[in-house]
Structure 1
Amino acid sequence: MRHPNRSGWYRNGGGRGTSHRSEVPRVPIAIPTALTERRLTTRDHLAMEATAVMYVVAVATTAQFSGSRWFLFPALAAISDDVLTRPWGKWASQPGRLVVTPTLGAAIGTLITKQFAYHVLSVLLIVTACLGLLAILRSNIGPAIAAGMLPLVLGITSWLYPVAVMIGLVGVVVLLVPWHRHYQRKYPDQVEVATSDIDDRLEAPPVGNRWILPLYLFLATLACYATVSGLRLLLVPPLVVIAYEMFANPDSCPWAQKPFTLPLACLLTATAGWLAVTAFGASGIAAGLSMATGIAVLRLLQIHMPPALAIGLLPLVISSDGIKYPICVAIGATALTFVFLLYRRWIARPGCATESISMR
């Protein structure tokens, strides 16, 4: 039910309030009607999705012929698709941080991987360092965490990895800057929407620290099991980003609103990537098919979850584990859903809700 306020704006009951229980007080947040109207035309949206896919295909082809599998940074799929189809978003509005943050995250991950083997402590060390990086740079580029985790999962110790990440992201920015200018000219009414009132609320860095302990408990538990079992893919880098966004922003994270859809989306995108690589090898064709299928899956499930596209590209850079890859991803995503539901139930308690609201 919509609740009007003095400014004539409204918010939907399923939005950013702590609406998980009926007894939890709701705090209205003014979100303009223009937010729901701020979108590209169908033609422009499809054109930008195609551009993102073609760019990833080009990078994957370069990686294939250069012999450097990690030249394809899987999060490029998530980043390129998000910034090109949402040129009004926070990621698209800060091209400098878009390049610098994941590059430094990749350097952090490489440095730690050179010193430590895969272990629960090394996982938590990388995550902590990357979260510190986000705080220092005042950046919300979550894929920087995935950039830091990838070297540990794959055993990458070459300093060419962060260089490759930087080159790939510079390419995204080269595509983004002229498109962003064109968007501002073509959609002047959308540009005039007060982004400080919209994006800062829906894409702002996490507030408070209530989410830190549950996130670390989840990561530590899954990393411990991955270490003991040898199944590192239970905690793939994109899943760490997905978990971070869910725990840190449980009220505004798009996929946090559909937790039961999360495992299905991850399973389908992982399966698509595995099948594409099985059929075409680690090639540009496989990358294009995987990403295009991932986009279709997310659209079919009606969920905006860019990291799932990175899950689809991971089979191109990992040593083939066959069908174990999508199974491991599904197990990890299901575990995340279960833990998140417990976490959401915990913060929905009246006492916790009041404290959470006071921190915003």
Structure 2
Amino acid sequence: MNATDPATNKISKMPYVIAILFILLMIGLSELLQHSEIILPEVAAMAIAMWVYREPGWIRRPSVIFIAPTVTAAIGLIINQFQIFYPIKIVLTLMFMMLFLRLIRSNLAPAIATGLLPLAIHSEDWSFVWIVFGFTLTLMAGVVVFQLHKNLATKSMIQYKYMVIFLGISLCWLSVCWLLGYEQMAVIPPIFVVVYESLQKPMYTAKIAFKQGITLTLSAAVGVLIFMQVDSQVLAAFMDMIVVVMISRLFQARIPALYAIPLLTFIFPAEKVWSLPLVTLFASLFMFSLVLFYKYGEERTLNRKTKGSSHNSVSPS
């Protein structure tokens, strides 16, 4: 499963074909068994990121590929059982997930989405955890069999302060949704994943934020439009994936979450589906703006310290 063409350094078609077939298999099983919880949008993002893009941060430790999402899915499912205020459920889930990722020393962002999904779809069935385990184990098998993690360091630099910043940005977004009375639409799992990953980037600019926001919103709009026009979920998912590939190439955006967003239409309550593009747009504007402000502030602080240290290192003549 060669991901790139050595002559052109472009991603070849075969990894896309394999990943999309895997995604369609997931949708087909859901339709065949009449079990909507088999559809895991983040699995689509993981298939593209791991088998096509070969994102180092997602595949460097194969065992984490299935361990982290399975445990976070269990965390979300357990907390969803509690009869407490919905925004508090979300905050507790995020906190416990960050603690778990800290304990296993991992930055596997899709684990955030699998933990939030039970709250987003109000799942209370433990089969959800086993479904996550099965699909992520298959993803890991693909990475190991084709040695996609070969030559990657098993350890990477993790700045845990970004977990705290991520919690702060999430809390701000949840607070706004609660004040406006839209707390039930506060959780779009793929967006939280993009926010978390954006904080980890050494460089984050307004151009990147704009590209993320516009492509995620377009992906959501495409998903809703196709969902409303096409009866077959397999056919709808196939059309979603093809259009998202086109969006990704048009904007030159390698954002795995683009492949997850349209699949939310299959599992969200019917009354929430139509508003998915609008909520995606508002969430992107709000959360990516906060990430941008933080990263700009961080850069200014770093530059100030660098100038200060350079000034102090100059000896008086």
Corresponding residue of 1:259: 209
User: What's the CA shift string for 1:141-180, capped at 9, x where partnerless?
Assistant: 2111111111111111111101111111122234333333
Given candidates 281, 287, 301, the residue that maps to 1:336 is 287
Given candidates 227, 232, 251, the residue that maps to 1:277 is 227
**Matching residue's letter, 1:283:** Q
Q: What is the correspondence of 1:78-93 to structure 2 with a 5 Å cutoff? A: 78-87=45-54, 89-93=56-60
Given candidates 110, 114, 118, the residue that maps to 1:147 is 114
User: What's the CA shift string for 1:9-33, capped at 9, x where partnerless?
Assistant: xxxxxxxxxxxxxxxxxxxxxxxxx
Q: What is the correspondence of 1:22-171 to structure 2 with a 5 Å cutoff? A: 40-41=4-5, 45-87=12-54, 89-117=56-84, 119-171=86-138
- The yes-or-no answer on 1:293 pairing with 2:263 is no
Corresponding residue of 1:311: 261
User: What's the CA shift string for 1:86-105, capped at 9, x where partnerless?
Assistant: 34724234322101110111
Q: Secondary structure at the match of 1:109?
A: helix
Instruction: State TM-score, norm by structure 1.
Output: 0.75
Distance 1:219 1:150 in 2: 15
- Report the RMSD for the aligned CA atoms in angstroms: 2.8
Higher mean displacement: 161-170 or 92-101 = 92-101
Return the offset for 1:293. Answer: 1.9
Corresponding residue of 1:206: 158
Corresponding residue of 2:313: none
**1:221–1:105 CA distance, 2 compared to 1 (3 A):** same
Kindly indicate whether the alpha-carbon contact (under 8 Å) linking 1:222 and 1:234 is maintained by their aligned counterparts in 2: yes
* Aligned residues between the structures: 301
Corresponding residue of 1:244: 196
Q: Secondary structure at the match of 1:262?
A: helix
Higher mean displacement: 146-155 or 277-286 = 277-286
Kindly indicate whether the alpha-carbon contact (under 8 Å) linking 2:216 and 2:257 is maintained by their aligned counterparts in 1: no
Distance 1:256 1:98 in 2: 31
**1:88–1:79 CA distance, 2 compared to 1 (3 A):** closer
Kindly indicate whether the alpha-carbon contact (under 8 Å) linking 1:347 and 1:353 is maintained by their aligned counterparts in 2: no
Instruction: State TM-score, norm by structure 2.
Output: 0.85
Unaligned runs of 5+ in 2: 310-317
Return the offset for 1:208. Answer: 4.7
Distance 1:205 1:289 in 2: 38
Q: Secondary structure at the match of 2:159?
A: coil
**Matching residue's letter, 2:48:** D
Corresponding residue of 1:19: none
Kindly indicate whether the alpha-carbon contact (under 8 Å) linking 2:50 and 2:59 is maintained by their aligned counterparts in 1: yes
Distance 1:103 1:139 in 2: 14
Return the offset for 1:310. Answer: 1.2
**Matching residue's letter, 2:81:** K
**Matching residue's letter, 1:40:** T
Kindly indicate whether the alpha-carbon contact (under 8 Å) linking 1:250 and 1:344 is maintained by their aligned counterparts in 2: no
Kindly indicate whether the alpha-carbon contact (under 8 Å) linking 1:72 and 1:317 is maintained by their aligned counterparts in 2: yes
Return the offset for 1:118. Answer: 5.3
Return the offset for 1:64. Answer: 1.5
User: What's the CA shift string for 1:280-308, capped at 9, x where partnerless?
Assistant: 24712222222232222122111221122
Identity among equivalent positions (%) equals: 19
**1:52–1:120 CA distance, 2 compared to 1 (3 A):** same
The runs of 4+ residues in structure 1 deviating greater than 6 Å are none
